[in-house]
Structure 1
Amino acid sequence: MVDKTSGSAGGNGRVVTVDRPERIRNVVLVGHCGAGKTTLVDALALTAGAVNRAGRVEDGTSLSDYDDIEHRQRRSVQLSVVPMAWDGMKINLVDTPGYADFVGELRAGLRAADAALFVISAAEGPEGVSGTTRALWEECAAVGMPRAIVITHLDTARGDFDDMVRTCGEVLGGGAEHVLPLHMPVYGPKSPDGHRPVTGLIELLPNCVVDYSSGAAERTDPSEEQRAVLEDARNRLIEGIIAESEDETLMERYLGGDDIELDTLTADLERAVAQGGFHPVLFGAPAVEGAKQGLGTVELLDLIVGGFPTPTEHVVRAAPAANGSEPRPLSCDPDAALAAEVIRTASDPYVGRVSLVRVFSGTLHTDDTVHVCGHGLEERGHPDHDVDERVGSVTAPFGKRQFALGQVIAGDIAYVGKLGHAETGDTLSETGAPLLIQPWPMPDPLLPIAIRAHGKSDEDKLSHGLARLAAEDPTLRVEHNALTSQLVLWCLGEAHRDVALERLRSRFGVQVDVVDHRVALRETFAGKATARGRHVKQSGGHGQYAVCEIEVEPLPGGSGIEFVDRVVGGVVPRQFIPSVEKGVRAQAARGVAAGYPLVDVRVTLFDGKAHSVDSSDSAFQTAGALALREAAATAGVALLEPVAEVAVVVSDDYVGPVLSDLSARRGRVLGTEPHGDGRTRVRAEVPELALSRYAIDLRSLSHGTGDFSRSYARHESMPAAVAAAIRDEADR
């Protein structure tokens, strides 16, 4: 087999450099956890010569040397980039997390890449092509990203390649004619436990078998048994390629019995893949004993180089940062003006903040001064900013490690150090002509986690740690809730929460305690009542004397606190009426029953008494507060809970369970409507008290296919039993 690990792309297993964007391929690996993405990256790196047989480069660096947090959590929680050289080209493989909680990292990978490899495990059978995988596929389709599919774990008992290809065509590709295999596996004898090792592959277009059973690749003609399977699959592949061809005469020639030239079919295949109209299926399998690489890796690298688009074909638009005019396409030219985007942000204990950057235009050098521009995420704790900063080192990513580069050209990906203000999604551009690339959409974090500093020393470091954490992760929202006096982290799920808290502890040295999240309840009067507030004290010298009589009545929702003065005859001196109002409003803010703010009442002051010497502002404030508490004891207090308007988008298969679950949460379903592609949108009003864990529960209920949004609707009275339980808790 021809060695393609060397060529015009320079590389020594660590640093791979090219001089033109046309010689770069940026590919993101997408798939759920356990599909084998990272294993596939390791196998491709081994085949390309980026690592040795032990999975390490010259200095002992391993692709698996990921974050310590990942080892403790036993999950990949952030994207990593592995560059390698193949056939004179540089390939940047962007490995993304498979957990739904880290979809922000996935979307960052989509922005960094120009094509996607969907990695799907055959070990789970057709059920492995889950709703989550389909949602990711649709996300790639929405941005016009070319896609191919790699089937892994074919050697397992459930590994059926034909079934997986058929399922992918039905669930993902919109039809079997758009999702077809380029190769088919050749199996060895089945073991007693049901496993079938893959010993080779059938190349459909060249019409040959590549046998690895001896450890080396040997090309042979297919056997009679293989020929019967090959012929049907090869004909369907050729028909699928011709259907996407720009040469309309090919179909006539093919139907007329002509043999279409292999070079013509290969060129049309690569063009169809690059344009996103055809999605080839390949497979990856472990190397047989004695082989130098895994099965299918050479063919996959060839497809990436020949069939995936170059960065020059990936159109990204930017607008001048100042005037807000229409975005214009960027030129993927190393000699053009600089335009780059921060794909992710990390904190290194030795060099500080490090930014992973995709350059879309121009060339970025070490020690350049660039303009850092970020807009649109202020509500998540990322204020808008425009600032000039000097770039530190420019380094090549390799898994967790970095190696010196000096510069990075348009189309490439690199790490940039010492950008103190740059956050994920920010744009780097020329200082004289700032640009803004619209950041990719981020999911709303909908799982609230209330925290507090564990000790006094942690209080001093907490704000700084949260600021750095938010800069790294734009899917995390930090909220200081003034109504509940709580510090709340809004996360995407439990795994996201665990990683955020662990990063606070291990990276920033902040210990926090998780406490119960409080919902901002309110109180109002259940009926009309009158009451007297009497504050009379004599302790030598001037005493304290104030008496006021009030009438309290409930108002419609949203009315707030209304204070009315109906005092006649000067029984309460005019200068003390504002004091009564101040005391009433202060007590209303503190609550009169369970400690929640009082709202939607009218307080009327109609009588009172004063003393010429002992009456004072503070005395009448105290009397007003006492009167309001006395009225509450007479009329009774109703607790109001916030109600959210919720929109749940879920697969049609799970609409019934979702409706039942919403009803169990005291929700009122407002209606359902089709959402396209076998999904339904359910609209409902649900109390906020029942939504604290809904982000987790919906994911479990819908097998990962559902998502939801929420918005505040209003406050309304809660059921008596729920209110009683909350009052009992407040009294304890």
Structure 2
Amino acid sequence: MGDKAHTHPGAAGRATAADHPASVRNVVLVGHSGSGKTTLVEALALTAGAVNRAGRVEDGGCVSDYDDMEHRQQRSVQLSLVPVEWDGIKINLLDTPGYADFVGELRAGLRAADAALFVVSASDGVDGSTRMIWEECAAVGMPRAIVITHLEAARADFEEMTRICAEAFGGDDPDAVLPLYLPLHGPPAPDGHAPVTGLVGLLTRKLFDYASGERVASEPGEAELPQLDEARSMLIEGIISESEDETLMERYLGGEQVDVKTLIEDLERAVARGVFFPVLAAAPAADGARQGLGTVELLELITRGFPTPLERAAPRVTTPEGAGRELRMCDPEESLVAEVVKTSSDPYVGRISMVRVFSGTLRADQTVHVSGHGMTDRGHEDHDVDERIGALSTPFGKQQRPVSHVIAGDLACVAKLSRAETGDTLSAKDDPLLMAPWQMPDPLLPLAIEAHSKPDEDKLSQGLARLVAEDPTMRLEHNQDTHQVVLWCLGEAHADVALERLRSRYGVQVDVVPHRVSLRETFGGRAAGRGRHVKQSGGHGQYAICEIEVEPLPGGSGIEFVDKVVGGAVPRQFIPSVEKGVRTQAAKGVAAGHPLIDVRVTLLDGKAHSVDSSDAAFQTAGALALREAAAEARIHLLEPVAEVSVLVGDDYVGAVMSDLSGRRGKVLGTDQTSGGRTLIRAEVPEIEIGRYAVDLRSLSHGTARFDRRYARHEPMPAQVADRLREEVRVAS
């Protein structure tokens, strides 16, 4: 943001623990897959001196491979922390996945950060999911900046992409999205594309040439001045319009020349307040170079324009009993409040937790209180225990650099937190506190799995428990109706990663099987049945006879049992036995093995023996009577129906409604919402929406989201029921 001619700082770029919250910047990188986030992080680390030109971390005499393929693949699907140092400021770069399936990792990064860099590819533009994330950041007032990458691509146009970003992100104020620098183009290549070799600073009127591999400052030539002055005027007006000095605009329009120092200070304040969103360009360093284009400017923006943790409001915390507590803003001397934002497993170290400290100071080998996160419905148990943490460290490539403590505002990794999971709160043992969990998307793609072999079966339970402990967006279900183990995921890529982690990390091989929904059965009409259980094999025999009548009831009625026996045909003590036999058989099903619901069973008559009748005999007779009644009646198969709400852009409403109708759905209505979106409410059979999470993403180009909840069971169409029975018959 200034005009300092930075040189390669070497070892100064290696970040360690911060000594004060004011010397920390926590920045999350956001953008779709392929936008260049990870490459940008590596370019910033190179410029800051954290890595050398070969992409290898410099750690004293120890060199570790920072850029190997496995590490890059891991970072493409999970949140990664890369700390660097610039001008005495520790910058925690949080690299998030661009795939929609790993939005949980993205939300963890947003939780841990104080500002966001939106990385936009000049060749791909701004997609719908990136716009949605921008709106989420705007809703909480998070400061943001935009970085345009891939300027080397054919037909890449920085000015045009800046205009697109202003339209996409500017909302009612597109003048709040403006470039701080303009690209400087070199001689055209044979294909006619002129490469970007430097930048021109609009406020300082300085030219920064990266053609030599080092940032070299100079004065712009006469050819650059007309374009520079026009863009500079727009930037100055944009900065002044967001200035806290209300007289500045009037003075500027009156002809007063505002000095550069004042403009830069106003710019920095506007960026930190989240009301001005600068656009920058960046590219990785060429072979042999030590500084990538725009990386120095970006590091200056982060250190001087992005807020410190001190400027973030103190988190809302309660005691485990629910009583509220007030904390001073990001005070290292306050009570400890830290949050686990990511959990991973290392084959040698064990569980590693990435932690953001919001208040107090976290120390190595300290005993902390672990408070749970309220996601028991996803297979994540709540915690309320004391636990001694292991070593503290900051990531350094694939290495971990030990630190003795972590102050409020900083991030670090904690070893051997065996009970804490992602989203849990760490606090002082004698002052336990709890942060409310951040919003996580519901996993809506079911993945039914079975152990591949007996050894896998023995390890499956532990492997699944460790898997869901790492990922709060995953839900583990043991379905009592279908007897299936189901992992609920966010999409196909999420499911693939889960299976691979089970295999590679936990040594569990599983088979994916078709997911089954919880079907039910009911009677289609009135029917009667007689249960006769009479056996005599010497000694004490078994004797029980009962006659019942079964009739259907409205949906949601369950099983109703009525006693109409007269004259003591069935002794009073055995009537509960008949009812128990009926309910047990109903739970097992009477036709296709699905639970029977919504019927009234009336006991009309029966017979008993003074010696051979017993509780067990009448239970058996009750079950036999229900089965006989079912054999004489029409049995309807009932399927679960879900209430589905789809939030989709107006451009895709017609396609989504047509698709829902094709799934036997019934659209109940639509509601217009803000941002050019429509909320569609519908009821859809659950058997038709098993892959809806994947199909809707494809249909809406990743811009729609939906939620679902069980509504009721209702009769399945005959042709669908017949098809389902045939599939079961073939499979068996």
Confirm or deny a common fold (TM above 0.5).
yes
TM-superposition CA deviations, 1:587-609 (whole Å, max 9, x none) = 11111111100011111121233
Q: What aligned pairs does 1:260-659 form with structure 2 within 5 A after superposition? A: 260-288=258-286, 291-659=289-657
Q: Which runs of 5+ in 1 are unaligned?
A: none
| Residue number in structure 2 paired with 1:227 | 225
Alpha-carbon shift at residue 542 of structure 1 (Å): 4.7
Q: Which is further off, 15-24 or 433-442?
A: 15-24
Find the partner of 1:149 among 146, 149, 160. 146
Shift of 1:38: 0.5
Other structure's SS at 1:340 match:
strand
Q: Distance in 2 between matches of 1:15 and 1:166?
A: 36
Matched-pair contact (CA < 8 Å) for 1:25–1:309: yes
Question: In 1, are the aligned partners of 2:534 and 2:544 still within 8 Å (CA)?
Answer: yes
C-alpha contact 1:584 1:628 (8 A) present in aligned 2: yes
Opposite residue 183 of structure 2, the aligned amino acid is: P
Deviation of the 1:503 alpha carbon: 1.0
- The equivalent position to 2:63 in structure 1, one of 47, 60, 64, is 60
In 2, are the aligned partners of 1:559 and 1:601 still within 8 Å (CA)? Answer: yes
- The CA deviation at 1:288 is 4.7
The question of whether the paired residues in 1 share the 8 Å contact of 2:26 and 2:91 is answered with yes
Any idea what the Cα deviations from partners look like across 1:465-520, whole Å, max 9, x if unmatched? Answer: 11111111111111111122111111111111111111111111111111111111
Partner of 1:160 in structure 2? Answer: 157
Alignment of 1:198-237 (within 5 A): 198-237=196-235
Change (3 A) 1:497 1:290: closer
Q: Does 1:46 align with 2:46?
A: yes
Relative to structure 1, is the Cα distance of residues 146 and 441 closer, same or farther in structure 2, using a 3 angstrom cutoff? same
Query: 1:286 & 1:65 partners in 2: Cα distance?
Result: 17
Q: Is the 8 A contact 1:366 1:394 kept in 2?
A: yes
| Alignment gaps of 5+ in structure 2 | none
Q: CA separation in 2, counterparts of 1:432 and 1:590? A: 51
Deviations 1:389-429 (A, max 9, x none): 11210111224331111111111111111222111111111
What is the aligned partner in structure 1 of residue 90 from structure 2? 90
- Amino acid corresponding to residue 139 of structure 2 in structure 1: A
Give 1:146's aligned amino acid.
P
Alpha-carbon distance in 1 for matches of 2:164, 2:315:
36
Conservation of the 8 A alpha-carbon contact between 2:53 and 2:289? no
Alpha carbons of structure 1 residues 695 and 152: separation in structure 2 relative to 1, 3 Å: same
CA distance in 2, matches of 1:584, 1:399: 64
**Offset of residue 289 of structure 1:** 6.0
Partner residue, 2:110: 110
Shift in alpha-carbon separation, 1:142–1:642, aligned structure 2, 3 A = same
Greater Cα shift, 380-389 or 24-33: 380-389
Give the aligned residue type for 1:607.
D
Aligned to 2:691: 693
- Tell me which amino acid in the other structure corresponds to 2:354: L
The one-letter code matched in structure 1 to 2:87 is: D
Classify 1:216/1:441 alpha carbon distance in 2 versus 1 (closer, same or farther; 3 Å). closer
Structure 1 residue matching 2:46: 3-state secondary structure: helix
3-state SS in 1 of match to 2:521? strand
| 2:200–2:208 contact (8 Å) kept in structure 1 | yes
- Distance (whole Å) between structure 1 residues aligned to residue 435 and residue 723 of structure 2: 51
Alpha-carbon distance in structure 1 between the residues aligned to 2:650 and 2:398: 41
Residues 141 and 274 in structure 2, CA contact (< 8 A), matched pair in contact too? yes
Structure 1 position 719 matched with structure 2 position 717: yes
Deviates further, 217-226 or 492-501: 217-226
Matched, 1:669 2:646: no
| 2:217 maps to amino acid | R
Conserved? CA contact 1:216–1:290, under 8 Å = no
User: Which among 708, 711, 716 is matched to residue 710 of structure 1?
Assistant: 708
Instruction: State how far apart, in whole Å, the 2-side matches of 1:29 and 1:256 are.
Output: 40
Deviations 1:286-335 (A, max 9, x none): 43565421110111111111100011001132334244233534432222
- Name the CA distance, whole Å, in 2 between partners of 1:353 and 1:217: 42
The equivalent of 2:132 in structure 1 is: 135
Q: Is 1:548–1:624's contact at 8 Å kept on the other side of the alignment?
A: yes
AA paired with 1:424?
Answer: T
Q: Is the 8 A contact 1:205 1:262 kept in 2?
A: yes
Note the 1:164-183 alignment, pairs <5 A: 164-174=161-171, 175-183=173-181
What do the CA deviations read for 1:364-406 (whole angstroms, capped 9, x no partner)? 1111111111232122222222111112101112243311111
**Residue type at the aligned position of 1:16:** T
Deviation at 1:12, TM superposition (A): 5.4
Query: How far apart in 1 are the matches of 2:589 and 2:723?
Result: 17
1:169 Cα shift? 0.8
Q: Aligned-pair distance for 1:275?
A: 0.3
Shift in Å, 1:257: 2.5
Structure 2 counterpart SS, 1:265: helix
Deviation at 1:46, TM superposition (A): 0.7
Shift of 1:192: 4.0
For the aligned residue pairs, the C-alpha RMSD in angstroms reads: 2.0
Deviation, structure 1 residue 213: 3.0
Task: Classify the secondary structure of the residue corresponding to 1:267.
Answer: helix
Quote the Cα distance in structure 2 between the aligned partners of 1:368 and 1:320: 22
Query: What is the CA deviation profile of residues 187-238 of structure 1, one whole-angstrom value per residue up to 9, with x for unaligned ones?
Result: 2234344644211111111123222334444434334442222222111100
CA distance in 2 between partners of 1:464 and 1:270 (Å): 50
Partners of 2:334 and 2:297 lie apart in 1 by 35
CA gap 1:63/1:311 in 2 versus in 1, 3 angstroms: farther
Letter in 1 for 2:127: S
The alignment partner of 1:445 has SS state of: coil
Deviations 1:512-561 (A, max 9, x none): 11111111111100001122223344444554443322111001111111
- Which sits farther off after the overlay, 167-176 or 305-314? 167-176
Say if 1:156 and 1:194, in contact at 8 Å, map to a contact too: no
Structure 1 residue 261 displacement after superposition: 0.6
1:41 & 1:645 partners in 2: Cα distance?
42
Give the TM-score of the pair, scaled to structure 1: 0.95
Distance in 1 between the 2:624 and 2:387 partners? 58
Q: TM-score, normalised by structure 2?
A: 0.95
Other-structure match for 1:35: 35
Instruction: Judge conservation of contact 1:662–1:686 (CA < 8 Å) in 2.
Output: yes
Moved more, 13-22 or 53-62: 13-22
Q: Specify whether residues 574 and 217 from structure 1 end up closer, same or farther in structure 2 by C-alpha distance, changes over 3 A only.
A: closer
Change (3 A) 1:572 1:199: same
620-629 or 423-432, which deviates more? 620-629
State how many pairs are aligned: 723
For residues 54-83 of structure 1, the C-alpha deviation after alignment (integer angstroms, 9 at most, x for no partner) is 111222224335766x64xx8711111111
Q: Are the counterparts in 2 of residues 317 and 330 from structure 1 also a CA contact under 8 Å?
A: no
Tell me the SS of whatever aligns to 1:663: helix
Shift of 1:271: 0.5
Give, in whole Å, the separation in 2 of the partners of 1:641 and 1:148.
49
- What is the deviation of 1:695? 0.7
SS of the equivalent of 1:111 reads helix
CA distance in 1, matches of 2:445, 2:127: 23
Change (3 A) 1:508 1:289: closer
Deviates more, 1:329-338 or 1:353-362: 329-338
The offset of 1:611, in angstroms, is 4.1
Separation (CA, whole Å) in 1 of partners of 2:618 and 2:677 = 61
**Could you say what secondary structure the match of 1:123 adopts?**
coil
CA shift, 1:6, in A, is 4.8
User: What SS does the aligned partner of 2:25 have?
Assistant: strand
CA contact (8 A) 1:13 1:57 kept: no
